[in-house]
Every structure is written in C-alpha cells, then in structure tokens.
Structure 1
C-alpha cells in the first residue's frame, strides 16, 4: 500500500530532557510510552529490558496520526479508528485498518490532503451539488406527472364526447357495443390514473430522500473532509436514487387514444364485426421510431385520416407499426387514397415473427382484407418470406432475396409503373 508523503509540522521538545531541566529538540515519538524523545534519551530508554521493543516514530508521522479526530468520521467496521484514507482505484474511504486489509496494493490518499487539494475546486462543488441537481430533475418529472394526470381526464373527456356525438347518428342496435367501448376507455383512464398516482408518490418519496442527502451535504459544507467522506459514502445511495429517478421517468407515460369512425358504418350496419373501435395513439412524449427520410414526394394528408382499414396497427403521423399481440391477429392497413404518380411508401422489418409472412403491395377498392396483395385480381405485391413478386396470381415469380430483420421493402409508383 502506497501512502502519501508526510507534511511538515512544528518541532517538539524531548520529554525526559525537560524533566532534567534541559531543552532538547525531540527526534521522535515513542509510540509505547507516548512521549517525545531525542535520540540520546530514546537509546538510553531502550537499554532497559521492558523497553527493548519500543518504537520511535517520526514526529511528522505522529502529529499526522494525532490530527483532530473531530474532522473524521468513525469507521463502521473498526469502531476505535477514524476514516482518514481514500482509495482512488476503488473509490472507497476507510481507516488505516481498512486500507491494510483491503487496499494493500493500492495507492491511497490521506483525506485531509485530498480535501485540501479539492477545496474550492469545481469537482468538490459538483459533489456537493449532486443531490440538488437530482432534486431539480425529480421536481421537473413530478411536474410532468401532474400534467399527465390532468391529460388523463382531458383525453377521456374528449373521447367520450366523440363517441356520444357519433352514436347520435346511428341506431340503438349498437348501444351495447358503445358501452363496451366507453368501458374500455374508462379502464385505460383508471389504469393511467392509478399509474400516475403511484409515480407521483414514488417521486415525492424520491425527493424526500434526496432532500435528506442534500441537507446532510449542506451540514458538512464547512468541513471539506467530512463533505468528501459523506459524498463518497452517500454516492451508492445517490446512484440508486438516480437509477430510481430514471426508472420513474421511463414509466411516466400515459396511453392516449381517440375515437375513430369506420366510414363503412355510415353506409351499412350489416357487418357489426367492422364496427368503429377505440384507436390507440402512440405516446406523444416518446413518438414511434421513424424510418429514413425519403426525397420522394409524400401525401400531405395524415395516414390517420386516409385509412380505409386499420387492424391491429398503430398510426403515428406518416408511420405505421405492427407488433404481434400473441393472438396471431394479422396487422392490416389499407390506404383509401387513389394511386398517383410518384408515390412512395416502405416498411422496415424489426422482427420476422413466427413465419415472416410480410407483404407490401397495391390493391383495388373492395379487395378482401384477408387476402395477401398480389393474389387477387388487379393487385400486385412483394412477399418478404419468399422474395417473390405476385401479380394477380397465387404463384409468384422470383424477384429478390428473402427479407431479414433490418431490411426495408419500398414501393415506388413511377409513370404508372410500380418499382420495388
């Protein structure tokens, strides 16, 4: 264990010489007798059999050892020792016994030296301001949670209003389904409200814990040694609180949703299976991952307004996502806009699922929703699982490679020709 060099201190007088009315500078300190002695007196002192094992310590080492104990914390493992050393390699503080036992091969610093070196530096200031910064971030998070709590009710109110306005235009035959939809919205509201209540409580508790650490740091700001030891000893707890803060931030989400009319219902009530449903909208604070921007022209009308059919998919601006819900339900989106020149759209494969049956293509109005594009009349589609292009036939032609995770499939309509 490498220990930092000694510091210069004042000289001391030889105690035995003082008793003989002589003033002699002490050369060291007998650790057994706890007296300062000159070399001559110590040599005479060791001639006695009982004193042969006594050790003369350098005066500088002794004064360092006798530093005011009020500047140090007591060691939790060695109760009679004070925490005086710091191991930079392991970022731990401890007493002399701790350093000998656990840090024999490390370079350790004397805490007073380390504290004096750090005094007035930005490093020590940043250590002291750590809880304050974390507290500020936690308060911002709490503010966001409170806003979300308000939005939970606002979103639900808007949702219920749209549902009721729409239901005034249709017959009483679908009232039971309306109640089911409202209940679904209420469930989401209750779930989000409960979640925000829980997050609010966790955040308030987190702020209280941070305030305790902050007050502890402030109480020791006049003693760099204590502040340094406190900052090191509290760092694991502060790191844990920071991890807890980030965990709360990651869970600070509410489920936004709105009512989406199915235009088919306004024309017929024959198929109740296609009745309007609650449409989930991705969290406004963490939008869906976007694909690479394309230089090709895009339709200005949002996908949410253009959808003819949308099943088991989420809509976010100009992007769609599909995730298997475990029930094997097929994700389907059909754009009701007519085909125009210079139109482009693409998909990115994030997961192949069980069979990788992913298809992209063009279909006519009224095309069956359970049929892959390219199989039926007046349709064309590229299928990712076999790399074949299907053109109004159930037998595709080899067109490209099978698609894997990370691949993108694009379709561009150029001069009434379809390019893949």
Structure 2
C-alpha cells in the first residue's frame, strides 16, 4: 500500500511536467520520460522517436519511473554533440588554436598534425568569463539592439516620407484648383511624378522592412541558441557555436550597414512654379475674338 501511495504521489507531481519538444510547437503533452544528454522531458511519442533515431542512439534515456521530478535537480551534460561539418559521422570535439578552427579527430589528424590541438571539454571551463565570450555576447546583443533601433527609425522615417508626399499632393491640388482648366496636362504630369516617387519610397521602405525582419529572425535564432546553451551550461556547444556564428554575425553586420543607408529619408516637397503664378496674375484672357478682316488659310492646311 505504501508503495502504491508513492506511485500515485509521483504521478500527481509529474502531471505538471510537459514534453519540451512539443511545447516548442505550442502543444502540451505530459512528460513520460527524460533524456539525460538533451536535458529534455519527452512525451511518449517523442520518447519512442528518441530511442529509434540514429542521432540519439548513445543518449541516456530515463522512463517515467526514473526521470527527475524537479527541473532544478536536472544537470545538463557538458559534452560535445555537434556533428563535424566535414565528417558527418564524427563529433566536433577538438580545437586547433594554431588555425582557430574546431573539428573532429579525423580533421585534426589530417589537417592539423603540427598544430596546437586541444580537447574542447578541457578548455571551455570558465568560457563565460573569457573576454572572447563577453565580446561575442556584447556584439550579438548590440547588433540585435541596433537592428531593432533601425527598424524603429525606418518605420518613423517611412511615416515622415509618406506625410511629406501627402503634403506635396495636397499643395499641388490647392494650386490645381486655381489653374486646373488651363494647366490640366502640366498638373497631371507633376501629380504623376509625385505619386511615382511616393510609390517608389513605399516599395523601398517595404523591401527594407522585409530585409530587417529576415535579419531579426536570424539574430533571434542566434540569441535563442546562445541563451539555450548558456542556460543549460553546454559550454562545449557554446564554444563551437561562437566559432561557427562569426561569419553569420559579420554578414548581418554588413547587411545592417547597408540597410542603414537605404532606410534614410529622401526629402520630398512640392515647389510651385513661379512662372505659373506670375502668369496667373498677369494673363487676363486666353485670346480675343477678332471681328472683320479677310479669312486666310494656312499654307500647310489641306
């Protein structure tokens, strides 16, 4: 009986623990097991898949009777699990200080025989206190903040450009009310120029905003990956992630500089023609009716 009460109590406590992979897709399923290597709670289907998948064949799995009941008691294994980009069946677990590259033991044997090689788990202790990590973290966060600031600036500048275009149209329409009949064709041409500029600005800012959204997603993914590894204490993976993400950050940085130029406001203002204003003041009539005289034909008239 005592054993039964213990199992019932465990079930009640476990009812609040949910499958973490399912939660990532907005589904809540009660956890039926735990992966020690991934440090994740798994529902029945995810637990079964974990057992079958070749990528997880060496992972330590615990069923519902052995899984930890309190997330605070879960310790993440700080080991290298990322596959080598060159030798896909090997794990990236070595670092060449001479070439500043990470790779598997095959990479090191083939390409780095005379280099200074270290086993990543041996060199990542205290990684989060190193200047390299702090610099990487500052750069990632600052780039993310700068991109958000750029998005806010682009939105503000687009509104300012839109308002200026609207004001230009309004000023044009006020003038057109005075000279509409006589200068209808000129009015339509200027109106078309402004509308085209307005549409051009709109398209330009829309493209800029879409590019920013793509970069925001890329940075969000990098931040999420960094935060996850940092939170779980996976310094090995964090170290590799830092090394692999440098090119991505450089590309994003270059794209942000380019977008900063493209997202600037090009001032737009309608300037009435002084000649037209003077004409309107001084011209009293379009022509006059001539009475009398002889009618002559133009030589070119047929």
TM-score by shorter chain over 0.5: yes
- TM-score of the two chains, using structure 1 as the length reference: 0.44
The answer as to whether partners of 1:156 and 1:185 remain within 8 angstroms in 2 is yes
The match for 2:235 is: 224
Find the partner of 1:257 among 246, 252, 268.
268
The match for 1:77 is: 86
Structure with the higher strand share, 1 or 2: 1
**Aligned equivalents of 1:137, 1:150: Cα separation in 2:** 20
1:85 positional shift? 2.1
Spell out the pairing of 1:58-207 with structure 2 (5 A cutoff): 70-116=79-125, 118-170=127-179, 172-207=181-216
Larger RCO of the pair (alpha carbons < 8 Å, separation 6+): 2
1:117 positional shift? 5.6
Spell out the pairing of 1:19-58 with structure 2 (5 A cutoff): none
1:233 positional shift? 1.5
1:215 positional shift? 0.8
Quickly say closer, same or farther: Cα 1:84–1:166, change in 2 above 3 A: same
Report SS of the residue matched to 1:93. strand
1:170 positional shift? 4.1
1:158 positional shift? 1.2
**Aligned equivalents of 1:95, 1:126: Cα separation in 2:** 26
**Aligned equivalents of 2:86, 2:102: Cα separation in 1:** 12
Count of aligned pairs = 202
The match for 1:241 is: 252
Which is greater in Rg? 1
Quickly say closer, same or farther: Cα 1:90–1:172, change in 2 above 3 A: farther
- TM-score of the two chains, using structure 2 as the length reference: 0.59
CA RMSD between the two structures? 2.5
Structure with the higher helix share, 1 or 2: 2
The answer as to whether partners of 1:111 and 1:225 remain within 8 angstroms in 2 is yes
Structure 2, unaligned runs of 5 or more: 1-76, 281-302
Q: Deviations over 1:16-52 (max 9, x none)?
A: xxxxxxxxxxxxxxxxxxxxxxxxxxxxxxxxxxxxx
1:154 positional shift? 0.3
